[in-house]
Chain A
Amino acid sequence: MENNHVIEAIDLSKTYLIRKKEQGIVGSIKALLKNKFNEKEAVKNISFTIDPGEMIGFIGPNGAGKTTVLKMLSGILFPTSGKVKVLGFNPSDRKSGFLKKISLVMGQKNQLIWDLPPIDTFHLNKEIYEINDDEFDKNLKELIRIFEIGDILDQQVRQLSLGQRMKCELVASLLHHPEILFLDEPTIGLDIIIQKKIRQFLKIVNREMKTTIILTSHYMDDVKEIAERVIVINQGSIIFDDALKSLSKRFANYKMVYLTLNKEVPKNILSKFGHIIKYEYPEMVFKVSPEKVAETTFFVLKNLDVDDININEPELEDIVRALFDK
């Protein structure tokens, strides 16, 4: 195992036993007498490494195995087979030294004490993680600045908005300066403005605190803005593991052209250049191959009355959807 990897997973698998029960009361009685289980392979022999300071996005449809991977990496779940080392530890041993170096933030579960202000949870974490007074004061001050939560420290958690709570969750998880931060759907349910802020904060945390960030999210904007590298999982297997930009190069060899027309034209006028996705006058959207972009633009500007033209990379959502549809 190379020393510079913070995470190394080799042939990691996880199989769940799912209890089977027939419908209705008869089914319940039968299940009482005889338990039947189905095996579900949530993660199948996946291998990958992660280096210090990386920002990785795990993406995949529901049930793909992303969260299971995160839970195995953080020591919540025992792998069924395979090997995993995180910061030199076997995560499922849950050694105190290991747990002090990581954090897992789950968008749908909270660690803040519901009836008390967040500052009390921070103080409790100080004891739990054995942070000394000076370090605690320094870290807290730094995190209050980054996450802009100075004005809500003394408010009861239950009275905070979802966005404020998530900021405090992140602060509570970062107080001990973890080397690795696992994030499971951290922006779920948040409005767009707060989502954006959280992403900015996470980038600052990665830059200033050198924290390795591993994220799962359904929001492609999270992945696009935070992750430099993506690991795409489908049905428990890794189907892509590389830099984000090579995802579009490899799986979406086309550009998106967005036109706003001043004058209506026949739909098929541009069909020789690419595939028209949408045409609802005055908006037209079509796909073209990268080598035809110049020719298409020239044609459009010369022959059509155009108010606006935009040429973009395909949306990450579309690439991923196409990838899963394969």
Chain B
Amino acid sequence: MTKELGNTGLLVIELMKTIKKYFKMYFLLVKYAAAADLTYWQNLSIGLLVEIFYQVAFLAFFAVIFFQTKSIAGWGPFEIIVLLGIDTFTSELLVGMILVNNTRELPNKIWSGELDRNLLTPVNPIFILTFGRPYFPSFISALPGFFLIWYGLVKLGVRLTVIGLAGSMLFFILGFILIVNMVLDFSLLTFFFQDTQTLPKIGERIAFSFTSRPDDMFGGFLKVLFFFLLPVVYVSSFSAKALITGIDWKYLCLAVLLTLISLIFTKWLWQKAIKNYSSASS
């Protein structure tokens, strides 16, 4: 028993060490990405302007809808603002952490053999492929998301509770992992269907088109699709709900279960995919 506890203790220490290592590495990657992007400050400024333009256009779209109706699937304008705040944060982080230099680049890496380098480092290759090259401007343009969340909550007169905040963060983290895995899974299909740039974009399109929608909009087949098969509703919609009305424990459990399944599936797909990798001739 003591020995077992000892082993468990060692495992926990190892796990903590690994997490610390990856956080430290990611911090360095972000630092270097910022340094590299700041070298070309004109590009950085243009990148920021583009991201802000997207956000304003998106808000304007919902403003137009609320001129015509008082609520969307039971969500009022300020609830939608909280949802959009979380979604701004989510989509900008998704762009900055995952998409621009990572999953979008996977077909090129496979085609050019640049993937070789990623496979040679003693770091989980999925981590490197997903987070290896952050895109710094998106980290800055994620920040207005906080303002929208704060503004929406103030207008709704919501008083934040520790449990509500923790639940919201938990939904956000689980939902984010689910979306990252979904985007990555589509990108990994590139290993099987050569010569295509389209696959990573499918995952992106699904994520961007549906994370900003209230979950109550979906019924019937769409509910099965976006709650279970392509689970995009948890990251923004359920996070917002946890802040505004409290945690939906049933869906929190479901999100945990789906996250575990998606992690196992992505690992399985990666192992299949990498066996298909033939590199590129030198």
Chain A contacts to B: CB under 8 angstroms: 16-17, 19, 63, 67, 71, 74-78, 94, 96-97, 99-100, 102-104, 106-109, 111, 113-116, 120, 123-124, 127-130, 156, 184-185
Contacts and interface: CB of A to CB of B under 8 A. Distances in A.
Q: Which 3 A-B pairs have the closest CB atoms?
A: A99-B122, A115-B36, A96-B122
Contacts of A63: 281
Given A94-B125, A97-B122, 19 more contacts: A17-B278, A75-B120, A76-B277, A78-B275, A99-B122, A106-B116, A106-B282, A108-B282, A109-B113, A109-B116, A115-B35, A115-B40, A116-B35, A124-B28, A127-B21, A127-B24, A127-B25, A129-B122, A130-B122
Interface of B: 21, 24-25, 28-29, 32, 35-36, 39-40, 113-114, 116-117, 119-123, 125, 194, 274-275, 277-279, 281-282
Contacts of A120: 32, 35
Select the residue from B28, B36, B116, B125 with max chain A CB neighbours within 10 A: B116
B279 A128 contact: no
Contacts of A96: 122-123
Contacts of B275: 78
Contacts of A129: 122
B279 A99 contact: no
Contacts of B28: 123-124, 127
25 contacts: A16-B278, A17-B278, A63-B281, A71-B279, A75-B119, A76-B119, A76-B120, A76-B277, A76-B279, A78-B275, A96-B123, A99-B122, A100-B122, A106-B282, A107-B282, A109-B114, A111-B117, A113-B36, A114-B36, A116-B39, A124-B25, A127-B21, A128-B25, A130-B122, A185-B282
Contacts of B114: 109
A71 B39 CA distance: 35
A116 B37 CA distance: 10
Contacts of B24: 127
Contacts of A106: 116-117, 282
B29 A77 contact: no
Contacts of A17: 278
Select the residue from A67, A76, A94, A129 with max chain B CB neighbours within 10 A: A76
Contact of B120 (A99, A107, A156): A99
A129 B121 CA distance: 8
Nearest to B40: A115
Nearest to B277: A77
Given A77-B279, A99-B120, A130 B39 contact: no
B123 to A, nearest CB: 6
Contacts of A115: 35-36, 39-40
Contacts of B35: 115-116, 120
B2 to A, nearest CB: 28
A127 B30 CA distance: 14
A113 B32 CA distance: 9
Nearest to A125: B121
B123 A128 contact: yes
Nearest to A156: B39
A17 B279 CA distance: 12
A130 B36 contact: no
Contact of A77 (B125, B194, B278): B278
A184 B36 CA distance: 28
A296 B55 CA distance: 87
A19 B32 CA distance: 39
Nearest to B193: A35
Given A77-B277, A128-B121, A71 B116 contact: yes
A120 B31 CA distance: 10
A148 B282 CA distance: 28
A242 to B, nearest CB: 25
A19 B116 contact: no
B133 to A, nearest CB: 9
A106 B113 CA distance: 11
Select the residue from A97, A100, A106, A114 with max chain B CB neighbours within 10 A: A106
Contacts of B117: 106, 109, 111
A300 to B, nearest CB: 45
Contacts of A123: 28
Nearest to B26: A127
A124 B32 contact: yes
Nearest to B112: A109
A156 B279 CA distance: 29
Nearest to A19: B194
